[in-house]
Homo-oligomer: A and B are copies of this chain.
Amino acid sequence: MAVGLTGLPDMVPVPGIRLGTARAGIKKPDRRDLVIIEIAAGAHSAAVFTRNAFCAAPVVVARNHLALTSPRYLLINTGNANAGTGESGLRDAQRCCEAMAQVAGCVAAEVLPFSTGVIGEPLPVQRIVAGLPAAYASLSVTGWDDAAHGIMTTDTVAKGSSRQVQINGHTVTVTGVAKGSGMIRPDMATMLAFVATDVACDTQVLQQCLNDAVEKSFNRITVDGDTSTNDACVLIATGHADAPINSVTSVAYKIFCDAVTEVCTELAQAVVRDGEGATKLITVDVQGGASDEECAQVAYAVAHSPLVKTAFFASDPNWGRILAAVGRAGVTNLDVSRIDVYLDDVCIVQNGGRAPTYSEDLGQQVMKRDEITVRILLGRGNHHTQVWTCDFSYDYVRINAEYRS
């Protein structure tokens, strides 16, 4: 079960955005597996995509369409990733866009396709096309809950986040949904996340905001270190609120970008909380680094270590495994005698060795919690970063050994 997730929060609609879903039977019958997000004319959109060299066909098509024009429709299917499908995969993604354009009365380049699911199977285009009218007919400004459910794959809970902030005396909304549970180590993107707002801003400002937000949220989570072929995150600004953001140096931008970052962080953490087999949410907080980069290096070495992750699963305060991971992170001239490590508020390592005040009892008390912060103080500078991950359980192996059967 997902750690500390109790269902969707109140999802405030975003003026200018409607969402619809359908049960197209793409992989399994009677499952909500097709989602349309309709974007009002005049909106701007920004996106980040996976850096995996084997990016899926819909990623290629979405990137090309986005370079041509502003999207009016996002078309998302689960049950099939349309990845590793070569030329025919590209044609399939385009055929879906064309069908969507016909239903909605727009051009194909105004449709961005997104797919998630099994890799290497041909996309069942006919089923998707057949499902479009029903999805289109269900478009509604209150469709966020259904959309959050419609993009789930191995997710055990739907993931959403919503914020309202005041900009220039106007209330603006930022609302988003995400999916993701395995093959999670986003690199400039997440699995799939769709965030919309009613502020007015051009694509350049919007892209900068998305980059800033993603860097602190989706690019700081890992379940298993495997970057997906289909990662994508889209941020849409409809401009329906009277809140223009003209420059990235304005106060309004800061308020707006903070809200987007909060929504993205809540979504990103939700992905980890629902990580395959996860029983614990682990925050790896590295401080005192000489650069952000080396902080991330250390944080990911710890967050990816199967030995650290299985120890968390067992609630075993095995600080030796944490130290070993820090030591192999590849930081140049690391002086281990300056390193302190805390589990929540309990100091477990001081000056590179077991802290004199530490006892197994104290460690065990922290380890029993559902949400634990590992704080690593490098003593080399003023940089810091945080990474979120989950533990490694029997269920991770079960889920991934049974995935295709």
Contacts and interface: CB of A to CB of B under 8 A. Distances in A.
Interface stretch (A141-149, A189-197, A393-401): A393-401
Contacts of A119: 318-321, 323-324
Q: Which range holds the interface residue count of chain A? A: 35 or more
Given A187-B328, A392-B397, A402-B314, A307 B227 contact: no
A310 interface: yes
Given A86-B351, A183-B324, A397 B403 contact: no
A309 to B, nearest CB: 9
A379 interface: no
A90 to B, nearest CB: 11
Interface in A320-360: 320-321, 323-328, 331, 334, 336-337, 349, 351-354
A226 interface: yes
B226 A324 contact: yes
Contact of A310 (B51, B229, B336, B400): B400
B397 A305 contact: no
Interface in A156-206: 182-183, 185, 187
B397 A313 contact: yes
30 contacts: A52-B327, A53-B327, A53-B328, A53-B331, A53-B336, A54-B323, A54-B327, A55-B327, A83-B323, A83-B324, A84-B354, A86-B351, A86-B352, A87-B353, A89-B353, A119-B324, A120-B320, A120-B323, A182-B307, A183-B307, A185-B328, A226-B305, A226-B306, A310-B397, A310-B401, A314-B405, A316-B405, A318-B404, A393-B397, A397-B397
Interface of A: 51-55, 81, 83-87, 89, 118-120, 182-183, 185, 187, 224-229, 304-307, 310-311, 313-314, 316, 318-321, 323-328, 331, 334, 336-337, 349, 351-354, 392-394, 396-398, 400-405
